[in-house]
Amino acid sequence: MAIALLALSACGREAASPGDGKGGDAASPAPAHAPVVTVSADQAVSPVDPWKAPAVEIGDDGVEDARAKADAALASGNLYRDADSAIPLYLALRARAPDDTGVAKALDASVEALVGQGDAALAAIDGEPLKLREAHEVGMVARSVAPEAPAVVAYLDRLDVMDRAQQANRLGETALADGRIGEEGEGGALAKFHEALELHPDDVRARQGLAAAESALIRRAEQAAESNDYAGAAGWLAKAARVRPEQALGTIEHARGRIDALRAARVGDLRDRGVAALSREDGLDEAREHLAELLRIAPKGDPAAVELRERIELATHYGLFRPGQVFTDAMKNGGRGPQMVVIPHGAFTMGAPEGEAGATDAERPTRNIRFERGLAVGRTEVSVAEFRRFMEASAHFEARASRRGYSTAYDERSGNLVRRSGVGPQSDYTGQPADDALPVIHVSASDADAYARWLTEQTGHTYRLASEAEFEYALRAGGTGPYPWGTGTPPAGSGNYTGGRDASPSGRRWRNAFKGYADQAWGPAPVGRYAANAFGLHDMAGNVSEWVADCWHDNYRRAPRDGHAWVNPGCRNRVVRGGAWASSPEQTRSAWRLSVQKDTTNARVGFRVVREI
């Protein structure tokens, strides 16, 4: 909006000092389209020429008529405009009769009325800015007619104050248009408007200027918010609140509400964009960028920031999954894969510490392993039914026991494991046809690897056997004792172990067993019958021992530090982990490991799979 400033000719006794108009924060940007007070031409005072009384001709026979005309003009308020006005007529009458006291009194009354008109004009300036010029015209007339009259001197003082107030307003408006608000109290628009109010407490124009300055500061707050500088926005609002502390509370709160709404919308948008990025496999870095921006603009502890941070943390370690989540993958030939449980990422100490009863050097040295990413582990061992589905779908696959024609099964009469013909993955621990719910046994490490490869091809996701480190981490499930449950006898219902109270079908008892423990099973039990561990996994320490991916090494001295499988191409012996239904208590320890030829099949070893996420 344009500001028209016309020159001011001061009619007061002393010219006003314009001041420099400087102030405000030098670093503050000039707001685009800053709200200003519009100053029209009629609000400024163009030069007012000194007043010269109009010429009045009064003949000898016209004195009475002139006196009557002057009195009538005075009564009507026509004081100085033309030759028919009261003051020019009284001045002409006084010139003819200087000692006429009646004329003198009438002239004094005219001057008094003139000052009254000037005061009326000054009082009307707030509503009618053009009245300032009228007041100046009155001042010129009064100064010309009675410059020493006390009423005139007082009026000219009042006019001078009004002039200085209006000059301050104009300088304030100019500073405001230039973006020099002066919010720091060093000159600028605010100082000028306050100066005007000190001179003229009821100055509407100055109050409008303060409102415009407040609006300009609010606009700066909004611009800062639009640039995501919410700390800056709060600072500008605080400065705006100091401009009119009593009148502007609602305005400031409304502006704060708009900015807060904008902030909340942008925070929400960044949260949504971050979450959307996490739904893509390559979106983690983008989500982190959104989080960084969100944290920059969001209030401390904002729920959206907390949520996105947690989602990114989960995605970093678990991809699209959550710890504890149970899921199955769809398979190309129909149906679903085995149930998998997402175990949490974390760290543990692998191996047996010095002094652990039953431990061997093969379980040492202990080493700290950290998993930076979660892993999906089979909730149970692979069942007979699940392995049968693989064999039926794999026309060219033949299990090792089937090709060889035998496996090692349990003989109830002798109480030993013996070689038995015609036994394979569909057989139970005695060599008889197995129930579908039992864990598959009589499988070699190569059979287990083949099943994992088939799952990978069927689901499009990477399935494999666990590494030794992964298996022990999942078995311990946060525990640090020699056994998964800590020490002593297993808790009731925790697994299928060699219990001192267990008996075979013919009444046999274990010679080396957990005293006082019974699990109501002799041989493998159906998968998932016993309680899950803290990670939601069943039968990690009992039921059947399990093949893992590592080749056998006599100790951990050169083992990988990242928990990956320690594999040597062409190795003959693989590692078996976890106790079984026929394992001694020493073989049920968390750190226990065994070297087994990879083609071995028997009634005590099965497997479970893991899936990378």
Question: Up-side HSE of residue 324: CA atoms within 13 Å toward CB?
Answer: 2
pLDDT at residue 47, rounded to an integer: 81
Task: Assess contact for 201 and 184: CB atoms under 8 A.
Answer: no
Between strands 605-606 and 545-551, the pairing is: parallel
Q: Is the dihedral of CA 443, 444, 447, 448 positive or negative?
A: positive
Q: Residue written as tokens 């190795």?
A: 571
pLDDT at residue 45, rounded to an integer: 60
Name 188's Cβ contacts closer than 8 Å, sequence gap at least 6: 21, 22, 23, 24, 175, 180, 181, 182
pLDDT along the chain (613 residues), means of 10: 30 36 39 37 65 92 94 97 95 94 96 97 92 94 96 96 95 95 89 95 94 96 95 95 87 94 96 93 93 94 95 90 96 96 97 97 97 96 98 94 97 96 98 98 98 98 98 98 97 97 96 96 97 98 98 97 95 98 98 98 98 95
Task: Assess contact for 173 and 20: CB atoms under 8 A.
Answer: no
Please indicate, yes or no, whether the overall pTM of this predicted structure exceeds 0.85: no
Question: CA dist 427 to 409, 436, 506, Å?
Answer: 9, 10, 20
pLDDT at residue 44, rounded to an integer: 54
Cis peptide upstream of residue 365 (ω within 30 degrees of 0): yes
Distance, CA of 546 to chain centre:
46
Question: CA dist 132 to 36, 48, 127, 536, Å?
Answer: 21, 11, 11, 89
Q: Residue written as tokens 């941070």?
A: 309
Between strands 340-343 and 605-606, the pairing is: unpaired
Of the candidates 541, 535, 534, which has an alpha carbon nearest to the alpha carbon of residue 519?
A: 541
CATH topology classification for 321-401+435-613: paralog of FGE (formylglycine-generating enzyme) (3.90.1580)
Task: Assess contact for 522 and 505: CB atoms under 8 A.
Answer: yes
In angstroms, the CA 228 to CA 222 distance is 10
Question: Up-side HSE of residue 485: CA atoms within 13 Å toward CB?
Answer: 17
CB atoms near residue 562 (< 10 Å): 11
